[in-house]
Amino acid sequence: MVISSPSGGGKTVVRSGLLKLDKRFAFSVTCTTREKRPGEIDGRDYYFVTVAQFKKLRRDGKLLEWAVVHGNYYGTPVKSVAAVLEQGRIPVMTIDVKGAHSVKKIFPAAVTVFLLPPDLKTLVQRLRGRGEKPENVAVRLETARSEIKVASRFDYLVINDKLPEAIREVAAIADLETRKIGRNLDKVKAFGRQLGKRSRGA
């Protein structure tokens, strides 16, 4: 599952709430060259790397997707996604719009969710609330405008007004997707084989 939003849209807090709500999900940690924010922990929130380290990961083909956002590099290490899948859990990726589209091209079955604040005023308040400088707020709002233009490419849209409701809505999307027939054909086929054996034995 891929969750994207404009900066300040709430993708990180929704992801955290989703992981607490449902143990089927696990966070696929991404790497970045930006500086750590207060409270962030290397290896939990991001893998914080230098530009040189990031470029080496990219050259070595160890990134599933990558993008430059507001002058910083972001990318998803292949090993992060593989580790979650090996546990039999659903990887949750919180990445930007470009990264989401890259993942969708590689994994068409990936479910993409676009989070949007209820209104512009709320988005500005959230950006200011996390200590963004006025000039940075302006840049991020301009980026948000271009990101919203391609929101229709996502599978689902969730309005992040009240956080608990947004978390439950994303969890409900996952429930819906896991029940789709195309994702459960192996179970259908197995049941059919059992019926076949039973009919032959009757």
Q: Where are the domains of the chain?
A: 2-201
192 pLDDT more than 80 = no
Give the span between the Cα atoms of 9 and 4, in whole angstroms: 8
- Cβ partners under 8 Å of residue 35, min gap 6: 48
Q: How does pLDDT run across 86-111, given as a tens digit for each residue?
A: 888 889 999 989 889 999 988 888 99
Give the strand pairing for 47-48 and 31-32. parallel
Over 80: is that where the pLDDT of 19 sits? Answer: yes
CATH 3.40.50.300 fits 2-201, yes or no: yes
- State the Rg of the chain over Cα: 19
pLDDT at 85: 87
Cα(138)–Cα(50) distance, rounded to whole angstroms? Answer: 26
Identify the CA nearest to 43 among candidates 57, 29, 53: 29
pLDDT at 67 over 70: yes
Confidence tier at 188 by pLDDT (50, 70, 90): low
| Model pLDDT for residues 103-143, shown as the tens digit of each residue | 998 888 899 999 999 998 988 888 888 777 888 888 889 88
Model pTM above 0.75: yes
Q: What distances in angstroms separate CA 29 from CA 12, 62, 154, one per listed residue? A: 11, 13, 21
pLDDT above 90 coverage of the chain, percent: 53
Residue-wise pLDDT for 164-175, tens only, equals 999 999 999 988
Average pLDDT, the chain: 88
Helix 120-129 vs helix 134-149: angle between axes, to the nearest 10 degrees?
Answer: 140
Instruction: Please say if the pLDDT value at position 199 is more than 90.
Output: no
* pLDDT value at 62 more than 80: yes
**Between these two residues, 187 and 47, which has the higher pLDDT value?**
47
Confidence of residue 191 (pLDDT cuts 50, 70, 90): low
